[in-house]
Amino acid sequence: MNATVVKDRLLEIRRLTPKLGAEIMNVKLADGVSNELFRDIYDAFLRYQVLLFPPQDVPPASQVAFARRFGEVQIHVMNQYHADGFPELYRLSNLDEDGKPTGKHPDKGTLAWHTDGSWQRVTGQATIIYGEVMPEVGGETHFCDMYGAYERLSPGWKQRIADMRAVHNLDFSRTRRHGEDPMSEEQKRAKPPVDHPIVRTHPETGRKCLFLGDHAEYIVGMPYDEGRALIEEFNALAIHPDLTYEHRWTANELMLWDNRCVMHRATAYDPATQRRVIRRCTVLGQVPA
């Protein structure tokens, strides 16, 4: 066994960085996951925040079954992306029916640091992505630890934001990035803006973390422009290189992360020459508190 791989109960684990992320070396998800194995995977999910499973065949049904172990799986409001007969799966692809790149990026909103589902009252817990086709250049996923981001704030900042709430709005984050189709009126009615604390307490670990990202639009009780400026400042302040893991994908890897304490973003790729197809699902969490 590689010296960097450690045995942790049923898992063989290789840490991705000293602070964030772990690769689970010895689990084939399509074989099914026993209760004991899931307990260990879930503990690793809480501890490492980001988990990677090395290249393996994970059929859509296996991905959905694994996601359901974590909790209720979101049926996404943007129904144009539903995939494989599973409304829980959201396929993001830049390919046409012949498998050729279209030149169109399917979701520019993912290029900015964000946390999945923060625009809902009940926000995302785990996001689970399976990479079917990955580009040779670009299209990485970056993760940053929001426990660490909070812990590094000065006492003055911690005090200032302790009771602040931010309004998260999917229509805002989609349309401010040029080129996305606006949400339909029906989609907007289904998902109106919601407010959440900027500092949340993780419901399982009990640790405090920053909860902002690209869907956060303004701050309750503060003039709009002042709140926008503060959110932009905090979104930048939250990213520390030593608290970040940058993943360069290999096809057929599966990754999952805890949206309650991690922000993430995808890096750009050339959608006219590179091919990228991912299958994503998001498990619903709690109302942040």
Contact region for Fe ion (CB under 5 A) — 71-79, 113-121, 133-141, 239-247?
113-121
Which C-beta is closer to Fe ion: that of 116 or that of 145? 116
The residue number whose beta carbon is nearest to Fe ion equals 116
- The enclosing H or E element of 277 equals strand 277-284
**Residues 240-252: b if buried by 16+ CB within 10 A, e if exposed:** eeebbbebebeeb
Q: Tokens representing 180?
A: 């996305």
The smaller minimum CB distance to Fe ion, of residues 13 and 126, is found at 126
For Fe ion, the closer of residues 128 and 161 by Cβ is 128
Would you say 13 or 89 has its CB closer to Fe ion? 89
- Cβ of residue 56: shortest distance to Fe ion, in angstroms? 22
What is the smallest separation between the CB atom of 157 and Fe ion, expressed in angstroms? 26
User: What does the buried/exposed string (b/e) look like for 41-62 if buried means 16 or more CB atoms within 10 Å of the residue's CB?
Assistant: beebbeebbbbbbeeeebebeb
Stretch that binds Fe ion, among 29-37, 109-117, 184-192, 227-235 (CB under 5 A): 109-117
- Report the nearest approach of Fe ion to the CB of residue 266 (Å): 7
22-24/50-53 β-pairing: parallel
Joined tokens for residue 210:
């920053």
The window from 30-38, 114-122, 135-143, 202-210 that contacts Fe ion (CB under 5 A) reads: 114-122
Take residue 216 and report the two structure tokens written for it.
């956060």
Q: What is the DSSP letter of 267?
A: P
> How far is Cα 25 from Cα 142, in angstroms, rounded to an integer?
20
Cβ within 8 Å of residue 189, ≥6 positions away: none
When binding is defined by CB under 5 A, the residue of 40, 116, 253, 258 that contacts Fe ion is: 116
Does position 258 interact with Fe ion (CB under 5 A)? The reply is no
The tokens of 215 are what?
A: 């869907």
Distance from C-alpha of 94 to C-alpha of 134, rounded to nearest angstrom: 11
**Distance of closest approach, residue 117 Cβ to Fe ion, in angstroms:** 9
Q: Minimal distance in Å, beta carbon 153 to Fe ion?
A: 24
Span of 63-71, 115-123, 226-234, 242-250 interacting with Fe ion by CB under 5 A: 115-123
Nearest distance, CB of residue 265 and Fe ion, angstroms: 8
Binding site for Fe ion (CB under 5 A): 116
